[in-house]
Chain A
Amino acid sequence: MTQENRISGGQIDRARTLRFSFDGHQYEGHPGDTLASALLANGVRLMGRSFKYHRPRGVISAGSEEPNALVELRAGARREPNTRATVVELFDGLSAESQNRWPTLAFDAMAINDRLSPFFAAGFYYKTFMWPRAFWEKLYEPIIRRAAGLGSLSKLDDPDDYDKGFLHCDLLIIGAGPAGLMAALTAGRAGARVILADEDFRMGGRLNAETYEVDGRSGADWALKALAELRSLPSVRLMPRTTILGAMDHGIYTALERVSDHLPAPLPGKPRQILWRIYSRRAILAGGATERPIAFENNDRPGILLAGSLRAYANRWGAAVGKRAAVFTNNDDGLRTAADLAAKGIETRVIDARKGEEVIDTSGRLGLKSVTIRTPNGTETFRCDALGVSGGWNPNVNITSHHRSRPVWDEAICAFVPGADGPPGLSSAGAAAGRLSTHGALESGAAEAEAALADLGLAAPARDLPVAEDAPIAITPKWYVSAGKGRAWIDQQNDVTVKDVKLAHQENYVSVEHLKRYTTLGMATDQGKTGNVLGLAVMAELTGRSIPQTGTTIYRPPYTPVAMGALAGRSRGQEFKPTRLTPSHKWATEQGAVFVEVGQWLRAQWLPRTGETHWRESVDREVLATRKSVGICDVTTLGKIDIQGTDAGAFLNKVYANTFSTLAVGKCRYGLMLREDGMVFDDGTTARLGDHEYVMTTTTANAVGVFRHLEFVRQCLCPDMDVQLISTTEAWAQYSVAGPNARKLLQKLVDQDISDAALPYMGCAEITLGGLRARIFRISFSGELAYEIAVPTRYGDALIRALVAAGEEFDAVVYGTEALGVMRVEKGHVAGNELNGQSSALNMGLGKMVSQKKDSIGMVLSQREGMTTANGYRLVGIKPVNPAEKLTAGSHFLEKGAAEVAANDLGWITSTVHSPHLGHAIALGYLKGGDSRKGQRLRAANLLAKTEVEVEIVSPHFFDPEGERLRG
């Protein structure tokens, strides 16, 4: 196969050949090529279609600003839509497909839109499709949506890994062109810790694309020499293929390193990309400049490129876009393209806007064939298959405006340069700062590095500036050619033309933001890197204001689009969040337990036995066996906080609504904790182990939040209290042992006497289990004679096995969270569904627990009028009138015969279970005026399922209401 447009020179390795395909056609290229340069070398100019009009398009740039040459790279689950051919490093076996076309790139049926373009003017859709009303969603929008988008995702899970990393440096330098290299040399020689990052795979920036000399050698050679020195400096880290995405606060920058994108697939164990968070003390933006086009009629044909890119392809990649070239420029930089192409033997004609010459039209549907120009001597059409356009260079100010600093207009170069109030610690050098010559870049790179070193307290080395060209750009503004009636593109991807800007002006969408949003200018995947300033200039001309008066849009992160996978890193799938395992997890797994996510914990939900086919069988068995004999449950997930100090009691009085200072040593008490707004925050038992030592338990869900709250009270509200806190949630394995035989079982293991006399109900003690230190609390959530026993976590597995073994003679069961839930509802205890953050102690029937005699958190505001009305929600018990009927949590209460409207809504069922003891469903719920409704019959309506059940309102204490069993 031939590379018909491959010309001499360039930084490609011609000794090796890489094979690749585009739209199924096979081509060859070389290492050092991008997909775009290789396609051009193979004579392929048509690479994509535009978004709205499906216009045939080729590359216009050689960098990340590319709006047109977007492809679907790779196949299968690694397919990557909207990938810029200009930044894809060629590898052997690469495959790419064009996108947003049907059936083929050359014959795209949707190009009919181009014919109909008068109807698709900016904002046309805001003015139509309104009648008849239903047609928008049924007809128009589906058509629009089908046509929308560019490339397509594979809809398969991304198979690659992404990593995240953290880096620290004294000086981050963004961009490794002449300014960045010079800054890195200056700072590196001074011993500063430097990170030099560049999005390109080959560092050197424009030096690789130009022919002028630096210090008597080619710019590319000088860059290699500089890089060699930088590599030898131990404090300098070079990061090619790394894009700085954004400037965050306090010197933090986000970067994306493309570790494996230049390979067919990541090497084993390697990530595809790494998202870096770089902590810098100082930073220099040396990100160069982006050339901008001049708008003229049919300026979007394949073969029309930015002039600097046209010569970059020739110089860096040895790729010609065509045989006969022309350059349309309003500045001297454009002339370089003509000179460089001519030096490569490509005949190049110059159309210099400064001499009154301009391009007024072009031809060639799938690729440029001819150019029509107008000069003071008249109009002329000539054959031409490559046209370079230069309207000047825009400094890449993007990152300097990430803190919403507005760039300022520099009349000398007719472009925006960084504003003064950019991210603190960030300065700009080189073309990014408007210094467009090579000398200017080198000089400002050195100067900014010296200033940074001064900030860092480091001595700068003697300045050693290489000799380089310092030619002025000599620009005369030329934004668009106002000839003819055709369309002149500003934003090529989104198909925004000069006419669209004119229409926006005509309709008073003249604010820059209105222009952008109304026409979609700058909203495409290139974020307006080539088109924004041009659009602004056209609007300025229409409104008769200067460009700075017209304003500018600022840029937001990321600098270039970034893969979602990279932002997520390893936190996906099973690793989305950490998984916390309980001490009995291994044992429970051996038993075939079914687990459930409880926050980050996995808890046994039930433990099926052979022959049980439905979860209810297991749960009913666990409940019945516990109530009949004894059951064991892992309750380690409950939060545990040790509270010590001479003011521990006073502290608990502050954080609990009820009183704890009076609790006797060796006793436990149920505590109710309010938020300051008077709503219930959490509950749990707290035990007093000594005069100045308590251990608090919290709900599983609130363990972290309660601890944070306690520290707030301790440090911010009561700074002089003698009280210390430590979370011991993960230090103790804790099991509940419940049921009539609980004591008998435990006494087999506990060294001390735990008889009712020695350890009465709500007692607690520090004990030993065969010499192992442990804690025992005689507390009960199940309503049975019950204990919670705690051992250091590392003995948790041993303890569950010991408990099960000791329980064998009692037919002990281990029960999971479902059985736990059944027993707590049978006892009328509130839990997660009732502790919803919207309920007060009064709502829960616990109003009397809020002591008015002391100043506890939430006491005052719990007394507000709206929270103390007699007809407020109260916790009630519910049972179906027909015991065969099931209840559904979330059903709402209605009076019999009442219409199903909100005004008749009396409350809802919070939790429901099947009570194997009672043989029917039972539930808890919040009911308006519930205290006075006991015995009433209401409807529990689940309108979602269109079902309702007649229920009776009862006490929430379904089982052993007197509490005789737990005192047994």
Chain B
Amino acid sequence: MIINHPILGPRDAQEFVYLGDAALIARPDGLAPGAQEAFHDYLYLRDNPAGLHRELWYHEQGDRSWLVVTRNTLTHEITQVELARDVARSLGRSK
């Protein structure tokens, strides 16, 4: 597979390490009430769609960017690649 890195351009997916669903960006607040249940859902449950999947890839043999790749799990077609940091900020994450 080829991932079109937003900064570096097309790179072989072999340069990357896969983590999983980009929902892992939405980490709950550990000090909020009900955190254990929220963390259970966050860490263990997955949509696991057959189709478009937003997922985290890390450019380990490269610039160390974490990317959010939108990829079809049926065809492996990649339709969008974003910097995970930008996605995290757009979700309201900060410090």
Contact at A719–B88, with CB atoms within 8 Å? Answer: yes
Contact at A855–B88, with CB atoms within 8 Å? Answer: no
Task: Count residues of chain B with CB under 8 A from any CB of chain A.
Answer: 37
Contact at A716–B84, with CB atoms within 8 Å? Answer: yes
Counting chain A CB atoms within 10 Å of each CB, the highest count among B31, B88, B94, B95 belongs to B95
Instruction: Across the interface, name the chain B residue whose C-beta is closest to A865.
Output: B36
Tell me the complex Cα distance, A856–B86, Å.
Answer: 22
Among residues 35 to 82 in chain B, which have CB atoms less than 8 Å away from a CB atom of chain A?
Answer: 35-36, 39-40, 43, 56, 58, 60, 64-66, 75-78
Given A250-B76, A279-B2, A718-B95, A708 contacting B17 (CB threshold 8 A): yes
| 23 A-B contacts (beta carbon < 8 Å) | A248-B1, A249-B1, A250-B2, A250-B76, A250-B78, A279-B2, A403-B75, A647-B95, A676-B27, A704-B60, A708-B58, A711-B58, A712-B56, A715-B84, A715-B88, A716-B66, A718-B94, A719-B85, A719-B86, A720-B89, A720-B93, A854-B31, A860-B39
Which residues on A are within 8 Å of B, measured CB to CB?
248-252, 279, 403, 424, 647, 650, 676-677, 704, 708, 711-712, 715-721, 854-856, 859-861, 863-864
Contact at B58–A712, with CB atoms within 8 Å? Answer: yes
Instruction: Across the interface, name the chain B residue whose C-beta is closest to A712.
Output: B66
Given A249-B76, A708-B58, A720-B94, A715 contacting B85 (CB threshold 8 A): yes
Instruction: Across the interface, name the chain A residue whose C-beta is closest to B71.
Output: A249
- Asked whether B29 is an interface residue with its Cβ less than 8 Å from the other chain, the reply is yes
Name the contact of B30 in the complex, choosing from A424, A677, A720, A855 (C-beta under 8 A).
Answer: A855
Chain B, interface SS category: mixed
Given A715-B88, A860-B35, A861-B36, A250 contacting B1 (CB threshold 8 A): yes
- In angstroms, how far is the closest chain A Cβ from the Cβ of B30? 3
Q: Which residues of B contact A856 (CB under 8 A)?
A: 30
- In angstroms, how far is the closest chain A Cβ from the Cβ of B65? 7
Instruction: Across the interface, name the chain B residue whose C-beta is closest to A424.
Output: B77
Instruction: Across the interface, name the chain B residue whose C-beta is closest to A720.
Output: B94
Which residues on B are within 8 Å of A, measured CB to CB?
1-2, 12, 17, 19, 24-25, 27-31, 35-36, 39-40, 43, 56, 58, 60, 64-66, 75-78, 83-89, 93-95
- In angstroms, how far is the closest chain B Cβ from the Cβ of A219? 38
Tell me the complex Cα distance, A855–B58, Å.
Answer: 24
Contact at B39–A676, with CB atoms within 8 Å? Answer: yes
- In angstroms, how far is the closest chain B Cβ from the Cβ of A310? 42
Q: Which residues of A contact B95 (CB under 8 A)?
A: 647, 650, 718, 720-721
Q: Which residues of A contact B19 (CB under 8 A)?
A: 712
- In angstroms, how far is the closest chain B Cβ from the Cβ of A639? 14
Inter-chain contact total with CB atoms closer than 8 Å: 82
Contact at B25–A716, with CB atoms within 8 Å? Answer: yes
Contact at A864–B43, with CB atoms within 8 Å? Answer: no
Contact at A715–B65, with CB atoms within 8 Å? Answer: yes
Contact at A251–B85, with CB atoms within 8 Å? Answer: no
Q: Which residues of A contact B43 (CB under 8 A)?
A: 676-677, 861
Q: Which residues of B contact A716 (CB under 8 A)?
A: 24-25, 56, 66, 84-85, 87-88, 93
Tell me the complex Cα distance, A395–B58, Å.
Answer: 42
Counting chain A CB atoms within 10 Å of each CB, the highest count among B27, B29, B56 belongs to B27
Tell me the complex Cα distance, A716–B56, Å.
Answer: 9
Instruction: Across the interface, name the chain B residue whose C-beta is closest to A676.
Output: B43
Since A249-B1, A861-B43 are in contact, a sample of 15 more A-B pairs with Cβ atoms closer than 8 Å, ordered by chain A residue number, is: A676-B43, A708-B17, A708-B60, A711-B58, A715-B85, A716-B85, A716-B88, A719-B85, A719-B86, A720-B89, A720-B95, A854-B31, A860-B28, A860-B35, A863-B36
Name the contact of A855 in the complex, choosing from B31, B75, B93 (C-beta under 8 A).
Answer: B31
Name the contact of A252 in the complex, choosing from B2, B27, B31 (C-beta under 8 A).
Answer: B2
Tell me the complex Cα distance, A248–B25, Å.
Answer: 30
Tell me the complex Cα distance, A252–B78, Å.
Answer: 14
Contact at B40–A861, with CB atoms within 8 Å? Answer: yes
Contact at B36–A717, with CB atoms within 8 Å? Answer: no
Q: Which residues of A contact B17 (CB under 8 A)?
A: 708
- In angstroms, how far is the closest chain A Cβ from the Cβ of B76? 5
Given A424-B77, A860-B36, A861-B43, A711 contacting B66 (CB threshold 8 A): yes
Name the contact of A719 in the complex, choosing from B1, B56, B77, B94 (C-beta under 8 A).
Answer: B94
5 residue pairs, one from A and one from B, having the closest CB atoms: A855-B30, A720-B94, A250-B2, A719-B88, A719-B85
Q: Which residues of B contact A248 (CB under 8 A)?
A: 1
- In angstroms, how far is the closest chain B Cβ from the Cβ of A399? 16
Name the contact of B93 in the complex, choosing from A711, A712, A719 (C-beta under 8 A).
Answer: A719
Tell me the complex Cα distance, A439–B54, Å.
Answer: 47
- In angstroms, how far is the closest chain A Cβ from the Cβ of B1? 4
Instruction: Across the interface, name the chain A residue whose C-beta is closest to B1.
Output: A249
Q: Which residues of A contact B29 (CB under 8 A)?
A: 855
Counting chain B CB atoms within 10 Å of each CB, the highest count among A250, A403, A677, A863 belongs to A250
Q: Which residues of A contact B65 (CB under 8 A)?
A: 715
Instruction: Across the interface, name the chain A residue whose C-beta is closest to B76.
Output: A249
Q: Which residues of A contact B12 (CB under 8 A)?
A: 252
Q: Which residues of A contact B28 (CB under 8 A)?
A: 860
Tell me the complex Cα distance, A860–B93, Å.
Answer: 19
